């Protein structure tokens, strides 16, 4: 936006005269210019263009106007609701003894039985707690989006509107993988939130949240988009939007608005060491949430495609080991037997670079791309294998709803013979028959001792080497052959407890 135009004025020097007619012309010009500037400012906040940044000057400086959220709150605030979910929690047993002693202590039962004058133990009844959160209306007939963790396990759910109406809500369904839940209230003509496009959201753009932090209803906070596509631990199917909007307990499930008043995300998590806001908040992109909601409404569940592989991030050292110029893609470290990937011929050590022509920049991109498709979908993977890229067609399976079984502890057995590879800093032994059966492996080398290069690479005692670069390792002879063909670029495929990963090994 350009500022008021500059009108040349006469310097007040001796001999310079200013006539009333000239003053009238100057005053009129200034008034028209200022009105034009005000009209531009008004268009910034009332028009279709929500941008508040003034175009950069010739010297590169960027001026900024602060955004005004008053119209957004007035227009879109009524679509935001407060949610209260009553939950029954099992009561914890009270210690009967007059002094603290752990119940697993061998003397606990002795003191409980023989301490005199102990009151009789009473039956413990479940206690009721209330979970508070936020949500927003996505249809005028009463469908509401919120977080799954707000309403999961709720026996009774109540929705409070901005006009103080209280409505009983029914849980239509929820999806724990994305933390999205759908509620339904019996009402009509409700105010509906407008849905935006998170793909158009830019880092640095202003956003606002409306919710009920700590029970303070209809609270508005604002900030900017800090990053997009964030991957969080144990959250493989959501590319979170990171913001610095103040989000606290009670904001969960509430909407994240852009300056157009469109919902671009659902506020879900915060990063905190204190339990309160510390400047880092995460929101679920609204397109993912709407996809989940539509499946819940139509099918009662959420279906996702499954490839059947375990993957790892490609570091610069691993890229060099596999002959890649750039550390892109998802490195396959395990192929599930009889899964879609196994049937398509994918192998351990393959690096998935593309899916349906779209670049897989990081390993976290692949679960999102695959999970966004339905079971039975046909895809084409661009795979890097032994120095060349090839296309692999795959028909996706269906991701199971139940979580995988908990990892079983690995039992280490002494080996009858050890093999030392001093240049690598490794002492290895072949797996015994019992170890192969227990681990479900056809073979491998158990690491007994690490030092030097192996220790610096992060290899650990108890790791099992099952591959080197893209060659399978079953025994010491196979390891020696693969090592001779590695050409100095070594990436060891290692089984560590229930995880499989490649570890790049740099020789001194």
Residues of the chain with confidence (pLDDT) below 70: 1-64, 89-127, 274-276, 402-416, 508
Query: Is 149 an active-site residue?
Result: yes
pLDDT of res. 146? 96
Distance CA 208, CA 218 (A): 12
Distance CA 141, CA 429 (A): 67
In 3D space, the residue among 339, 345, 328 whose CA is nearest the CA of residue 393 turns out to be 345
Q: What is the dihedral of CA 341, 492, 236, 196, to 10 degrees?
A: -90
Query: Is 252 an active-site residue?
Result: yes
Q: Using a cut of 0.75, tell me whether the model's pTM lies above it.
A: no
Residue 344, token pair as written in the block: 């398509």
Contacting residues for 385 by C-beta, under 8 A, at least 6 apart: 347, 349, 350, 351, 470
pLDDT of res. 4? 41
pLDDT of res. 59? 61
Distance CA 448, CA 426 (A): 8
pLDDT of res. 360? 93
Q: Phi and psi for 64 in degrees, rounded to 5?
A: -145, 135
How many Cβ atoms are within 10 Å of 173's Cβ, its own excluded? 19
Residues in the chain: 508
78-97 confidence digits (pLDDT tens) = 999 999 998 876 555 555 54
pLDDT of res. 117? 52
Of the candidates 79, 131, 226, 252, the residue annotated as catalytic is 252
Distance CA 334, CA 348 (A): 6
Contacting residues for 225 by C-beta, under 8 A, at least 6 apart: 201, 202, 203, 204, 205, 207, 241, 242, 243
Task: Tell me if 365 sits within 8 A of 330, measured CB to CB.
Answer: yes
In 3D space, the residue among 361, 395, 360 whose CA is nearest the CA of residue 378 turns out to be 395
Of the candidates 76, 175, 179, 350, the residue annotated as catalytic is 179
283-321 confidence digits (pLDDT tens) = 999 999 999 999 999 999 899 999 999 998 999 989 888
Of the candidates 149, 281, 310, 363, the residue annotated as catalytic is 149
Beta strand 194-195 pairing with 262-270:
parallel
Q: CA gyration radius for the chain?
A: 31
């Amino acid at each position: 936006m350009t500022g008021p135009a500059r009108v040349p004025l006469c310097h007040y020097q001796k001999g310079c005269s200013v006539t009333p007619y000239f003053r009238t012309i100057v005053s009129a010009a200034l008034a028209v210019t200022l009105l034009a500037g005000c009209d531009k400012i008004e268009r910034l906040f009332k028009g279709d263009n929500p941008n508040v940044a003034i175009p950069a000057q010739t010297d590169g400086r960027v001026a900024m106007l602060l955004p005004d959220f008053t119209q957004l709150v007035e227009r879109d605030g009524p679509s935001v609701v407060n949610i209260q979910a009553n939950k029954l929690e099992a009561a914890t047993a009270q210690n009967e003894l007059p002094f603290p002693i752990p119940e697993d202590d061998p003397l606990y039962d002795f003191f409980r039985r023989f301490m005199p004058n102990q009151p009789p133990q009473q039956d413990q009844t479940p206690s009721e707690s209330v979970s508070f959160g936020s949500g927003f209306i996505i249809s005028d007939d009463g469908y509401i989006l919120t977080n799954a963790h707000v309403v999961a396990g709720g026996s009774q759910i109540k929705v409070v509107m901005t006009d103080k109406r209280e409505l009983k809500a029914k849980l239509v369904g929820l999806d724990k993988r994305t933390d999205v839940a759908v509620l339904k209230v019996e009402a009509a003509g409700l105010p509906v939130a407008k849905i935006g496009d998170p793909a158009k959201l830019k880092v640095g753009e202003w956003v606002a949240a409306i919710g009920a932090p700590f029970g303070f209803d209809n609270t508005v906070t604002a900030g900017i988009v800090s990053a997009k596509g964030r991957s969080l631990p144990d959250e493989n199917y959501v590319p979170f939007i990171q913001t610095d909007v103040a989000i606290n307990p009670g904001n969960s499930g509430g909407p994240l608005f852009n300056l157009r008043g469109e919902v671009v995300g659902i506020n879900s998590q915060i990063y905190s060491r204190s339990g309160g806001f510390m400047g880092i908040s995460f929101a679920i992109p609204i397109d993912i949430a709407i996809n989940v909601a539509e499946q819940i409404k139509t099918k009662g569940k959420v279906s996702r495609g499954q490839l059947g592989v375990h993957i790892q991030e490609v570091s610069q050292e691993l890229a060099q080991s596999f002959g890649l110029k750039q550390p892109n893609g998802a490195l396959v470290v395990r192929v599930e037997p009889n899964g879609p990937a196994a049937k398509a011929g994918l192998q351990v050590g393959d690096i998935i670079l593309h899916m349906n022509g779209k670049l897989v920049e990081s390993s976290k991109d692949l679960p999102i791309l695959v999970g966004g498709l339905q079971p039975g979908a046909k895809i084409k993977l661009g795979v890097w294998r032994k120095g060349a890229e090839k296309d692999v067609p795959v028909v996706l399976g269906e991701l199971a709803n139940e979580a995988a079984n908990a990892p079983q502890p690995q039992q280490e057995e002494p080996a009858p013979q050890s093999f030392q590879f001093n240049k690598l800093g490794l002492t290895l032994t072949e797996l015994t028959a019992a170890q192969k059966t227990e681990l479900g492996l056809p073979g491998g080398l158990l690491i007994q001792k690490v030092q030097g290069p192996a220790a610096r690479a992060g290899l650990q005692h108890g790791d099992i080497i099952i591959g080197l670069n893209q060659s399978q390792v079953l025994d010491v002879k196979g390891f020696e052959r693969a090592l001779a063909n590695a050409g100095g670029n070594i990436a060891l495929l290692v089984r560590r407890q229930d995880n499989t990963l490649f570890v790049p090994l740099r020789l001194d």
